[in-house]
Amino acid sequence: MPTLQLKLTPVLQAPAQAALAAELTQLTATVLGKRPEVTAVLLEPVPQWFIGGVPVTQATAWLAISITAGTNTAEQKEAFVAQAYALLQRHLGSLAPASYVIVHELPASDWGYGGQTQAARQAARQRAAQPA
């Protein structure tokens, strides 16, 4: 149930936004093994970006993904950062140097979806797997 938050400039048209969200969802499934049906992508256009206190005219992006702690290896996270950055470059062109991809790992007890934490979901799966 990863969530991806993408802040970017320039503002993309709706079809380009949908394509980017679909590719980020697929990348998350392929590289991190996450389920697409519970992957949320939030796109937030930023009207003006500053780096070093100076307005930037070049394309810029800040992508943060939240995943449950301990569900991915360091190598998977490294691959995700590299491939997500490359994906952003394909969609936005040359990115300003201070463009970021961030992986946030959250404890299973600290987040969830559908009103249930990831820890509660894990516990329910374990109970269901135990012989009666």
Residue pLDDT tens, the chain, 132 long? 899 999 999 989 999 999 999 999 999 999 999 999 999 999 999 989 999 999 999 999 999 999 999 999 999 999 999 999 999 999 999 999 899 999 999 999 998 888 988 889 888 888 889 887
Residue 43 confidence (pLDDT): 96
- Distance CA(66)–CA(105), nearest Å, equals 6
Task: Write out the residue range of the structural domain in which residue 111 sits.
Answer: 3-129
Neighbour tally for 48: CB within 10 Å = 9
What is the residue whose two structure tokens read 């679909």? 22
Q: Give the domain CATH number at 64.
A: 3.30.429.10
Instruction: Please classify residue 17 by burial: count the beta carbons closer than 10 Å to its beta carbon, then call 0-12 exposed, 13-18 middle and 19+ buried.
Output: middle
Domain count, the chain: 1
Backbone angles phi, psi at 44, to 5 degrees: -125, 110
- Say what the pLDDT of residue 66 is: 98
pLDDT score, position 34: 97
pTM: 0.90
